[in-house]
Amino acid sequence: MALKKYERLAAELERQISSNLVKPGERLSSVRELSRTRRVGLNTVVHALSLLEERGLIVSRPQSGFYVLGPRVPSGVKPPAARLTLPKEVQVSELVSTVFESVHHREVLPLGAACLDEALYPCEDINRLVRGVVREQPELVGRYALPPGDFEYRRQISRRLEKFGTFVAPDELVATGGAMDALSLALRVTCSPGDTVLIASPQYFGILQALQGLRLKVVEVPAHPIEDIRLEQVEEALRRSPITAGIFTPNFSNPLGTLMGDEKKAALVELFARHEVPLIEDDIYAELSYQGLQPRPLKAFDTRGAVLTCSSFAKTVSPGLKVGWLAPGRYLEKVKALQLASTMGGGPLGQQVMARYLASKDYERHLRVLRLHCSVQVERFSRHVLAHFPEGTRTSQPKGGFVLWVELPRGVDSVELYRRALDSGISISPGTLFSTRDLFRHFIRLNCGNVWSEALEQGLLRLARLATQLHKASAR
Ligand SMILES: Cc1ncc(COP(=O)(O)O)c(C=O)c1O
């Protein structure tokens, strides 16, 4: 297929960079110069430059232009010790609440909780839709959206899943108050207190908190930083321990950002089906793939209704609307009954607003910009960390989402770093929060969902200095 004009220009600029005609740190010709000398429109140039930025070759500095980035030091986090753990009760550190709370403190740099900067959410569009829905149906706020929730909301989610190759009928979906609400429902209909759930390690601490709240035990399967969990180990765990359910995030896990291939997804679903164990998936980051193409959920490979898919729009559209969904497979009736008996379902306003947004072209347009932003920002964080943190620091290589998992030299205590960073106005997530074992003491997770700024750059440098001080002290 013939290249488009902007792709030709991007390829030419890429050659200039790879041949060292323009070196790392140097500025590319300005947008106007490129438009004049190549006889193409300004839009074509901007498009070409965005493509190079997306590939991590250049970076834009506001009011200054586009600069060439240096070659990335290849440095992934090391695979964990490949051992399965025995069933263990979950005890999440109380630090979790301070990591969440710091989101509300404007003076603290929010690198702890996985939250996008408010400026990156389509707040104007959503507020316009809220006004429209309220104007047209002033009586709506006087109603419940009883389980399974607003039909049009579920129909739009069903259409979106279908667009990417997964068929789940609107009647097989339940609207929830976010992904955690969906996960909690999925766990409660499949497990009872004292049961054991199989999870990947490191694991998002919100899920650990939910497991603790339901008094469930866990077996942790080590997740490789690129390849994710190993199926042989999953099988061994299923054989060895009385596992009642599994929870996995096959599309851009948190904190590693790994992506499971379709073959592996199919094999995982088959493995759980063979052992007659329900499989819960958290698909909250699926829309944030750096490759653009949305990966399929485990649900796409489920023929027995044994996969329960949970997601929400908190990471893409609005955390404040609290709209999520659950595709519970054969647990549908149980989920609806439990939801009726617990929360009576979510709010109709948020569901209708989200339905309208999903039906509009704005959603896809917004996602394109957001995906690009996330990939550029994660890459930028990674380079920064590798350049300034103590020698031996490694970073994950996420394929989607907006968190970075950082391995510090052994001996650097992430809880101590967390405390010192908070004193210095920076919130981070210490690695100890991501497991029930003390496996990730020298790891931290950084939220890259912010807009790059001088304050952010200075904050990262301060964090690097604190990590270096701790590293030096530990080496003495
Ligand atoms: C993997 C994962 N699941 C679920 C959530 C929470 O989703 P929600 O706000 O929709 O409950 C988060 C938030 O950080 C997350 O990272």
CATH assignment at residue 10: 1.10.10.10
Binned at pLDDT 50, 70 and 90, residue 72 comes out as low
My answer on whether 112 and 140 are in the same domain is: no
* pLDDT of the residue at 109: 95
* pLDDT of the residue at 91: 87
Centroid of ligand 1 to alpha carbon of 85 (angstroms): 25
My answer on whether 302 and 391 are in the same domain is: no
My answer on whether 98 and 240 are in the same domain is: no
48 inside domain = yes
* pLDDT of the residue at 82: 61
My answer on whether 185 and 132 are in the same domain is: yes
76 inside domain = no
Per-residue pLDDT reduced to its tens digit, 229-256: 999 999 999 999 899 999 999 999 999 9
Range 426-454 average pLDDT = 94
Pocket test for ligand 1, best of 247, 254, 317 (most atoms within 8 A of CB): 254
Please give the tally of structural domains in the chain: 3
My answer on whether 243 and 152 are in the same domain is: yes
82 inside domain = no
Domain boundary among the residues 28, 52, 68 is at 68
SS3 track for the chain = CCCCHHHHHHHHHHHHHHCCCCCCCCECCCHHHHHHHHCCCHHHHHHHHHHHHHCCCEEEECCCEEEECCCCCCCECCCCCCCCCCCEECCCCCHHHHHHHHHHCCCCEECCCCCCCHHHCCHHHHHHHHHHHHHHCCCHHHCCCCCCCCHHHHHHHHHHHHHCCCCCCHHHCEEECCHHHHHHHHHHHHCCCCCEEEEEECCCHHHHHHHHHCCCEEEEEEEECCCEECHHHHHHHHHHCCEEEEEECCECCCCCCCECCHHHHHHHHHHHHHCCCCEEEECCCCCCECCCCCCCCHHHHCCCCCEEEEEECCCCCCCCCCCEEEECHHHHHHHHHHHHHHCCCCCHHHHHHHHHHHHCCHHHHHHHHHHHHHHHHHHHHHHHHHHHCCCCCEECCCCECCEEEEECCCCCCHHHHHHHHHHCCEECEEHHHHCCCCCCCCEEEEECCCCCCHHHHHHHHHHHHHHHHHHHHHHC
* Per-range mean pLDDT, top range of 33-37, 56-60, 92-96, 272-276: 272-276
81 inside domain = no
Pocket of ligand 1 (CB under 6 A): 114, 178-180, 204, 206, 249, 254, 282, 284, 312, 314, 319, 324
For ligand 1, atom 7, which residue shows the shortest CA distance?
Answer: 179
75 inside domain = no
Per-residue pLDDT reduced to its tens digit, 392-430: 999 999 999 999 999 999 999 999 999 999 999 999 999
333 inside domain = yes
For ligand 1, what atom is nearest to the CA of residue 254? 1
We report the CATH number of the domain holding residue 107 as: 3.90.1150.10
For ligand 1, what atom is nearest to the CA of residue 324? 10
Per-residue pLDDT reduced to its tens digit, 143-171: 888 999 999 999 999 999 999 999 999 99
My answer on whether 99 and 128 are in the same domain is: no
- Give the predicted TM-score (pTM) of the model: 0.86
86 inside domain = no
Binned at pLDDT 50, 70 and 90, residue 13 comes out as confident
> Is 26's pLDDT higher than 90?
no
Centroid of ligand 1 to alpha carbon of 185 (angstroms): 14
Centroid of ligand 1 to alpha carbon of 282 (angstroms): 8
Centroid of ligand 1 to alpha carbon of 284 (angstroms): 7
Per-residue pLDDT reduced to its tens digit, 282-312: 999 999 999 878 999 999 999 999 999 999 9
Centroid of ligand 1 to alpha carbon of 324 (angstroms): 10
For ligand 1, what atom is nearest to the CA of residue 115? 14
My answer on whether 348 and 433 are in the same domain is: no
My answer on whether 424 and 408 are in the same domain is: yes
Binned at pLDDT 50, 70 and 90, residue 75 comes out as low
Centroid of ligand 1 to alpha carbon of 250 (angstroms): 14
Domain interval for residue 390: 92-120+364-475
Centroid of ligand 1 to alpha carbon of 319 (angstroms): 9
My answer on whether 271 and 396 are in the same domain is: no
My answer on whether 356 and 376 are in the same domain is: no
For ligand 1, what atom is nearest to the CA of residue 113? 14
My answer on whether 315 and 411 are in the same domain is: no
My answer on whether 178 and 325 are in the same domain is: yes
107 inside domain = yes
Mean pLDDT score across all residues of the chain: 92
